[in-house]
Structure 1
Amino acid sequence: MTIPGFEHAQPLEGLVGGLMIGLAAAIMLLGIGRIAGVSGLTARATGIADSGPPRSLAVTFVIALVAGAVLVELVTGTIEARFPPELWMLVAAGLCVGFGTRMGSGCTSGHGVCGMSRLSQRSISATLTFMGAGIATVAVMNALGKGW
């Protein structure tokens, strides 16, 4: 299925992935009463954060994220990943995302998936902010000829 202007879009795959993310978030929230925020779970798994779910759960969650990607690649073939043409862009982007995650008390999965589904005002505000920042960043990088 081809979408005009988005010849590389994969809507069916996106739908299945979205359903799986929603299911995982629902299982975590309903099963143990915790938000499936990847940045918080990663911080807990690596020992950066002392509070949150049990560390064993956080480690298992992070390992399962990686294992899931490996499983998808084994089933569907090679996953094509594209990165910025210059390493400094990748490092700068990672630092900005990390800073924003700490400043906003959560990431796209915590706020965008779990928080918005609970109609959290803070999460709605955070999601609007990071989506706006992402759109603006892409526009600026494309205008500077640095898009990829």
Structure 2
Amino acid sequence: MATEFTPVLSTLGGLLIGASALLLMWSMGRIAGISGIVSGAAMEASSERNWRLVFLLGLMLGGGLAALLFGSLDGVQPVTSTGLLVVAGLVVGVGTAMGSGCTSGHGVCGISRFSPRSIVATLIFMSSGIVTVFVLRHLLGETL
């Protein structure tokens, strides 16, 4: 499987992620940890739920709009079954609950605040991802 090297688009995407995290911190004093925002949107009182739902809607609409404008989803097809994708999503959800956060909360916001806990958490989930891909691709022969 070939991948494209897209330094300009990747840099722009990173800047947008950083800008949104900074804007949320400045405007509301909140960390842009997506797993926390999603769980809070499902369980919080209405005033807390509203900003979380707006943030999540903006993520989906922004990504969808960018895909439509730039045609970045042309020809994209899932490479595995829907069932496996659902199981993978549930495993990620359990992992974010166990780690008290996700890549956006720990990796983007926590590391930028020099949080030792976030640095350790990010090292652990990145290492877990590397090991998982190695096992799937090189030991089990799966193509992802």
Match of 2:19 among 18, 23, 38: 23
Partner of 2:37: 41
Partner Cα distance (2:13, 2:97) in 1: 26
Structure with greater helix share of residues: 2
Alignment of 1:58-69 (within 5 A): 58-69=52-63
Asked if 1:111 is matched to 2:99, the reply is: no
Match of 1:141 among 117, 136, 141: 136
Asked if 1:132 is matched to 2:131, the reply is: no
Partner Cα distance (2:72, 2:119) in 1: 35
Structure 1 residues not aligned, in runs of 5+: 1-5
- Displacement of 1:71 after TM fit? 1.1
Tell me the SS of whatever aligns to 2:36: helix
TM-score scaled to structure 2, two decimals?
0.88
Q: Residue 104 of structure 1 aligns to which amino acid in structure 2?
A: G
Tell me the SS of whatever aligns to 1:146: coil
| CA deviation map 1:101-141 (0-9, x unaligned) | 00111111000000000000110011001100000010011
Partner of 2:9: 13
Report percent identity of matched pairs.
44
- Displacement of 1:74 after TM fit? 2.2
Q: Residue 26 of structure 2 aligns to which amino acid in structure 1?
A: L
Give the RMSD, CA atoms, in angstroms: 1.8
Structure 2 residues not aligned, in runs of 5+: none
Partner of 1:3: none
Asked if 1:83 is matched to 2:78, the reply is: yes
TM-score scaled to structure 1, two decimals?
0.86
Distance 1:91 1:74, change over 3 A: closer
| Number of corresponding residues | 140
Partner of 2:68: 74
Q: Residue 137 of structure 1 aligns to which amino acid in structure 2?
A: T
- Displacement of 1:82 after TM fit? 4.8
Tell me the SS of whatever aligns to 2:108: helix
Partner Cα distance (2:84, 2:135) in 1: 13
